[in-house]
Copies of this chain bind each other. A is one copy, B any other.
Amino acid sequence: MCVSVESYHGMSVLWYTEWLSPHEAHVHGILELLFDGYTKYQRVTIAKTGSFGLALFLDGFAQSTEYDEFIYHESLAHPAMITHGNPRKVLIVGGGEGATLREVLKHESVERAVMVDIDEELVNLCRKYLPEWHKGAFDDPRVELVFADGRRFIEETKERFDVIILDITDPVKGTPGVPLYTKEFYEKVRERLNPGGVTVTQATSLRYYERAFAVIYNTVASVFPIARRYKVFVPSFYSDWGFVIGSLDRDPLEVPKEEVESKLARLPLKYLDAEQYSFLFAIPRYLVERLSRYRDISTLSNPLEI
């Protein structure tokens, strides 16, 4: 006898709105809200969306969704790992969902993976609600999980790593992410790399924050001998998403094609294969032209903010 209805032909009533600008938004109908609340650092919303399945939103923006989180996480982790060639010690800054950790651990060379996230409550929520993201990665014996400010950790640790992955929130004005995109921070990161070390950072949206993507690249290029930018289309981000690699020694574009292929072939992946891998680095020329307009870098005294 019970019938529960949503109004007007099943139109959702609860919506998550991503405000891209005062003139653009994406709205996600929420089928079921698993969690919505504030941790010490951010508003966390975990919900089953009509559009992308289970999703994690932080402070107004989708971080990853069931439909396509693997596109983002594979594309973030593997190019840096493959560029290094034989990473044994890996540091992840951020990455609360545990999915970047999951990808890193797929590499058999990895002996130790340290993940430093500022927000213990968020990590606990992800462990509880997003098991398909971390897939038990937090319990891998190679993993050390540290709850600390990533910047301070980088400054204070004596350890060095082969690969450092910066899986952090966008440099939104007033948030702790801002200094993590500056020249000063990248210099500290460089100091914490072993010889041959590689770092990669997520680098925002090529559509919505093209200036941010350009400036992050410029900043990394001002610190590392080799810097490469790349992108991948992530449907739930409605945009090509950007990444920037800083490398001490090896150029991602110089890794032999056969090496890329053989390494990818050994990893159980859903998105990346040799064909898509080569596409990552192909920025369309209209974007290259748009990006060329931005010449500045981000520094602590004049940081990039979006």
Distance in Å: Cβ of A123 to nearest Cβ of chain B: 16
Asked if A258 is an interface residue, CB under 8 A from chain B, the answer is: no
Q: Can you give 10 contacting A-B residue pairs, CB < 8 Å? A: A2-B41, A4-B38, A4-B41, A5-B60, A7-B59, A13-B18, A13-B57, A26-B27, A238-B238, A279-B282
Residues of A in contact with B (beta carbons under 8 Å apart) = 1-33, 36-38, 40-43, 45, 49-51, 57, 59-61, 70-71, 149, 172-176, 207, 233, 235, 238-240, 270-271, 273, 275-276, 279, 282, 284-286
For the residues of A in contact with B, the DSSP-based class is mixed
Q: How far is the CB of A143 from chain B (nearest CB, A)?
A: 26
Q: Are A13 and B14 in contact (CB under 8 A)?
A: no
* Contact of A5 with B172 in the complex, beta carbons under 8 Å: yes
- Least CB distance from A214 to B in Å reads 16
- Given A37-B32, A239-B235, A271-B285, CB of A7 within 8 Å of CB of B19: yes
Q: Given A21-B51, A51-B20, A282-B276, A5 and B270 touching (CB < 8 A)?
A: no
Query: What residues on B are CB-neighbors of A173 within 8 Å?
Result: 5
- Beyond A24-B28, A51-B20, whether A9 also contacts B6 by CB under 8 A is no
> If the complex has contacts A23-B29, A270-B285, A286-B270, are A14 and B279 also in contact, measured as CB distance less than 8 A?
no
Residues of B contacting A43 in the complex (Cβ-Cβ under 8 angstroms): 4, 6, 13
Question: Is the pair B26, A26 in contact by a Cβ cutoff of 8 Å?
Answer: yes
A305, B231: Cα distance in complex, Å: 33
A17 and B6 in contact (CB under 8 A), knowing A29-B24, A285-B271?
no
Complex Cα–Cα for A60 and B29 (A): 12
CA distance A32 to B33 in the complex (A): 12
Q: How far is the CA of A220 from the CA of B162 in the complex (A)?
A: 50
